[in-house]
């Protein structure tokens, strides 16, 4: 069975060109979701539906993985399941269900993963450098708190000291409340020390 998967990043984009290219598939899963940082329920359903001997078909490699590492992991998982892989616009990645990944494909995937990791580390480094420079120039103060200290204290008082209930009432996570509470506590200690 040939199973197609089509994805675009935003609701404003059109799936029709991908669906047209995948029309020969027995079944097609489709969704409008960003490839990064967002759950892709239709991809999860598609991967769960595949059986040994099936072939997953996509139009382009970037439609499948949220990152190169994610892509490599998906293709490796397909290989272990005995599922083939077909990329219409980039056939160098095609894998038949019975043959598995060829050595040259494995090399390309491994190199892609290595470059992706390298780029991620460079991006983190550039971001850290930019933040350090902005802090030094007094232009970076971090994200502004959406809740005031008074609102947090009031919510905790209203919840009779129960931080779990207070966090729920404030619409934040318990961990988020704990972090803010810790910052407030440290500010109070610093204030008391300055008074002494």
Q: Give me the domains of the chain, ranges plus CATH numbers.
A: 2-102 (3.40.50.1390), 149-195 (1.10.10)
Residues forming a β-bridge with 87: 58
CB 182 within 8 A of CB 175: no
Catalytic residues, which ones? 9
Between CA 43 and CA 53 the distance in angstroms is 18
State residue 102's pLDDT score.
75
pLDDT at 196: 45
**Residue 56, Cβ neighbours under 10 Å: how many?**
27
H/E stretch holding 48 reads helix 41-49
pLDDT for 135 equals: 83
Residue 23: the pLDDT is 96
pLDDT tens-digit map of 147-193: 888 888 888 889 888 888 888 888 888 888 888 877 777 666 555 55
pTM over 0.85: no
Q: Mutual orientation of helices 163-170 and 174-195 as an angle, nearest 10°?
A: 110
pLDDT in tens, 26-84: 999 999 887 665 688 999 999 999 999 999 999 988 888 767 777 878 888 888 899 99
């Amino acid at each position: 069975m040939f199973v197609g998967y089509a994805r675009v990043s935003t609701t404003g984009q059109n799936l029709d060109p991908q669906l047209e290219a995948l029309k020969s598939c027995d079944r097609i899963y489709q969704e409008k979701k960003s490839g990064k940082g967002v759950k892709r329920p239709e991809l999860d359903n598609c991967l769960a539906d595949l059986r040994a001997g099936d072939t997953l078909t996509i139009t382009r490699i970037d439609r499948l993985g949220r990152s190169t590492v994610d892509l490599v992991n998906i293709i490796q998982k397909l290989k272990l399941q005995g599922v083939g892989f077909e990329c219409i616009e980039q056939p160098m990645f095609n894998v038949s269900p019975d043959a598995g990944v060829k050595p040259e494909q494995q090399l390309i995937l491994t190199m892609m993963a290595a470059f992706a990791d390298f780029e991620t580390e460079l991006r983190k480094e550039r971001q850290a450098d930019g933040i350090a420079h902005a802090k030094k120039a007094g232009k970076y103060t971090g994200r502004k708190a959406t809740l005031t200290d008074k609102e947090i204290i009031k919510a905790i008082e209203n919840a009779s000291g129960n931080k779990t209930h207070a966090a729920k009432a404030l619409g934040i996570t318990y961990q988020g409340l704990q972090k803010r509470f810790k910052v407030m506590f440290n500010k109070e200690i610093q204030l008391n020390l300055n008074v002494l």
